[in-house]
Structure 1
Amino acid sequence: MTLGILVVDDEPDVEDLFRQRFRAELRRGELVLHFAVSAEQALRNLNEGLQPEAVLVLSDINMPGMSGLEFLQHVKANLPQVPVIVVTAYGDAENRRRALDIGATELVTKPVDFVALKKLVSSVIEQKFAA
């Protein structure tokens, strides 16, 4: 089964970085990475349907327009079954508390430790399908 992950970040190099770091999983057909450069684009993508469907979202907090925390509120209100991991350069206690209070599964700080992120992604997906 191929799983879809939606990555939401306005930084132009994020797509290349994630494709490089998840290269083995992509080649094996385990994952498809979907990308959105804004929260608004991500909401459109989720509403229009991604193939394969996004079973997990990785979202930045600080983006122009709608923030990642506002995006998280929309996802939790409309797609509560989709876990969201917040990825941010601002991992302070206040952002962590706000993200978790809104419904984030976890908060990961930048620069991203991709070994830890892959373990977290696997754990979240396992929990999602075990439920």
Structure 2
Amino acid sequence: MNVLILVVDDEPDVTDLFRQQFRRELRAGRFAMVFAHSAVEALEHVAAADGASLILVFSDINMPGMTGLELLPLVRAARPDVPVIMITAYGDAETRERVLAGGAAGLLTKPIDFGVLRAEIDARLAAVATR
């Protein structure tokens, strides 16, 4: 299965963290991950991704330039079929409400619970497999 997950975060160590957490799945070719360090770079990846291959976007909210909340409607407009899950250090009720009202499929708080993240990925992989 040739599927792609996009991770958007301006902190470079997030790339290493995700690669480490999903090294077995990545090595096995279960899915591929691409990393963007800005919202602009993320939009380039969304535009370049093959229609069927991009299955999930994880995006940090607080980034310089364009924030994750500003990125969210742009990704949703370009790829309404792809769920976007926002990630933040501030999981208060107001942030959760804004994220969900903006069309996000969910909100995860830092430090990231990779068990929850795996469950989200597994659910998307299962949905793609049944198409």
- Tell me whether the two structures share a fold, i.e. TM-score over 0.5: yes
**Aligned amino acid, residue 26 of structure 2:** L
C-alpha separation between the residues in 2 aligned to 1:61 and 1:130?
31
My pick for the range that moved more, 9-18 or 121-130, is 121-130
Aligned residue for 1:96?
96
| Structural mapping, 1:59-74, within 5 Å | 59-74=59-74
Residues 3, 53 of structure 2: 8 Å contact kept = yes
- The 8 Å contact of residues 4 and 51 in structure 1, kept in 2 or not, is answered as no
Match of 1:23 in 2: 23
Residues 1:122 and 2:122 are matched in the alignment: yes
1:128 Cα deviation from its structure 2 partner: 5.6
TM-score normalised by length of structure 2 = 0.91
TM-score (norm 1): 0.91
Q: Which amino acid aligns with 2:75?
A: V
Residues 93-128 of structure 1 deviation map (CA, whole Å, 9 limit, x = unaligned) = 111111111111110000001112101221244346
Instruction: Measure how far apart 1:77 and its partner are.
Output: 1.5
| Count of aligned pairs between the two proteins | 131
RMSD after superposition: 1.9
Question: 1:32·1:52 contact (CA, 8 Å) conserved in 2?
Answer: no
Match of 2:78 in 1: 78
Provide closer, same or farther for how the CA distance between residues 108 and 61 of structure 1 changes in structure 2, counting only shifts above 3 A.
Answer: same
Greater shift in the superposed pair: 41-50 or 18-27: 41-50
Gaps of 5+ in 1: none
Query: SS of the residue aligned with 1:80?
Result: coil
On the 8 A contact 2:55/2:124 being kept in 1, the answer is no
Q: Kindly tell me: are residues 9 and 130 of structure 1, through their superposed partners in 2, closer, same or farther at Cα, counting changes over 3 Å?
A: same
Distance 2:121 2:78 in 1: 21
Of all paired residues, the percent bearing the same amino acid is 52
Aligned partner of 1:113 in structure 2 is 113
Structure 2 stretches lacking a partner, 5+ long = none
